[in-house]
Chain A
């Protein structure tokens, strides 16, 4: 038996989606084929998805070998660590009760998870680019566009080891001016430009 690991995982992902979706769909009325309720189309979709997932999984058992890239121990460990960091931050920030609304809890949890994920070398780009994006969301409304830009660029710049401080500084100035010109002056999007707590 030559296992195609990539296809096997793909099939399992499809099956997981189908099963979870089907289970969540129990809340919705099916209706009849003539008068379909809100649950009818989802039911059909998830049954088909389950079928395709099963076929993909089955074929994957014989169409290999097609292994995943090798992971180091650090990379393997970082994944559960990132998940733990996500939930721990979520619970802590929720308990602290200082930030309310606007998904600050969700944002800080994503940021923490991404940063932990970025610890091993192999996940650096994956973790830091997403961390920069999440930091942008966290800083935007209270910190203003400029601070959010600086934060996002700084964190995401760490993802590429070739960056030098001077180059990053130049890029920050350039992008802040460009974004101000395009989004504030020309397009006039409704967002704070400068920090609100000053």
Chain B
């Protein structure tokens, strides 16, 4: 496990050392590109003194709430549209239109509707997560083979049973692929949502750092956001492995 990650870890160290060396030797201003050591110091201070933590919690909360809301609504709508052809024909153009609109462009109107703060950011994040779940759920529901559908008909399964016991489980790998896309987009949505609609959180802190011309702090915030994204993605992967353990067991042997 560790051995597999060793080369990429070594590469990281080499890159950081190179960066540090170039910044120091060329005398590049910290305003343009700060040295990794300076970034690490600011990040360490932020975490130990604690002024970063409230922002981290807020961004994490916005990301997870938006992600949860978007995934649930996207999944439910995906099931509804996947099951009913009439509904699909009726609503699909509208769904597509709402997704083609850049959601961040809706930020200003959300601020009017939901106020300046967390709610606007959560709504933007949820909207961003909605589409990958909707689309992957609709696709996933078609994944069950015709033979399995015939099997369920032979066994006298009703429509609801076929949905819950055949179509949704068959589609889960595809749905989970959508969830993985959504968690990454959710963090982007939350951070960028904070740019326009919030005074707190890591995204809002980036704007504040920009105002103070503090590039070192901005880089420290990038690192915190990246770490959070990696953590969320890994947790999603773990959840997926647990959920799809039956399929995966088959693949191992």
Indicate whether A and B interact.
no
Interface residues, chain A, with chain B CB atoms under 8 Å away: none
Residues of B within 8 A of A (CB): none
